[in-house]
């Protein structure tokens, strides 16, 4: 007998959970969690979703930071959230530059597929939430519902979204509004 599949919320990191920078987030001293992020993740956790981060961290490949520094940033993120009793299930990131043409860099689905396999996840019952077209493309390619949040530094105008080959299923102001939307969708689904 196979165990039931888990459902997950796959989240981009920079620009979705924390402030982003055109110069990249290169150290834990530059990391600033959005004040509403813990409330949002608490909703996802209460709904029974695994919380998994899928992130591009090309500053490593560009020589602007190190894998150790990115791991320290992720440790700060996890420990900050643990203070609010929020657990991050896993974090996957791509250290490569766009020109490296790897499958783990979004919109490639390598890291997402790995997370789905390693955590026995039902992609169709899961969400991918991020602040860029790459996030939406990644989630859609794996069969997840997608939510675009407008908190990124290069947040696209709604007109621009209309020209994307894969459009988000939903658009939210921020991760908290996205969580509230998922909560409403789950309520409707369970009626």
Return d(Cα 66, Cα 50) in angstroms, integer: 27
Q: Which member of 14, 20, 131, 135 is catalytic?
A: 14
Residue 55: name the closest of 28, 90, 80, 99 by CA.
90
CA distance 127 to 136: 10
Catalytic residue among 12, 20, 131, 135: 12
* Whole-angstrom distance, CA of residue 80 vs CA of residue 74: 10
Taking the CA atoms of residue 154, residue 172, residue 18 and residue 108 in that order, the dihedral angle to the nearest 10 degrees is: -70
The answer to whether residue 103 is catalytic is no
Q: Is 100 a catalytic residue?
A: no
Q: Which residues are tagged catalytic?
A: 12, 14
């Amino acid at each position: 007998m196979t165990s039931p599949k888990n459902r997950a919320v796959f989240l981009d990191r920079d620009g979705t959970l924390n402030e982003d920078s055109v110069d990249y987030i290169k150290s834990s001293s530059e990391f600033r969690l959005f004040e509403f992020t813990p409330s949002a993740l608490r909703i996802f956790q209460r709904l029974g979703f695994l919380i998994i981060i899928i992130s591009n961290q090309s500053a490593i490949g560009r020589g602007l930071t190190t894998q150790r520094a990115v791991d320290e940033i992720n440790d700060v993120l996890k420990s900050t959230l643990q203070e609010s009793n929020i657990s991050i299930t896993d974090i996957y990131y791509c250290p490569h530059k766009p020109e490296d043409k790897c499958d783990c860099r979004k919109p490639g689905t390598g890291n997402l597929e790995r997370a789905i396999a390693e955590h026995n996840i039902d992609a169709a019952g899961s969400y991918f939430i991020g602040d860029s077209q790459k996030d939406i493309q990644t989630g859609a390619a794996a069969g997840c519902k997608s939510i675009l949040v407008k908190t990124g530094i290069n947040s696209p105008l709604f007109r621009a979204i209309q020209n994307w080959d894969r459009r988000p299923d939903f658009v939210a102001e921020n991760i908290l509004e996205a969580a509230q939307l998922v909560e409403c969708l789950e309520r409707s689904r369970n009626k």
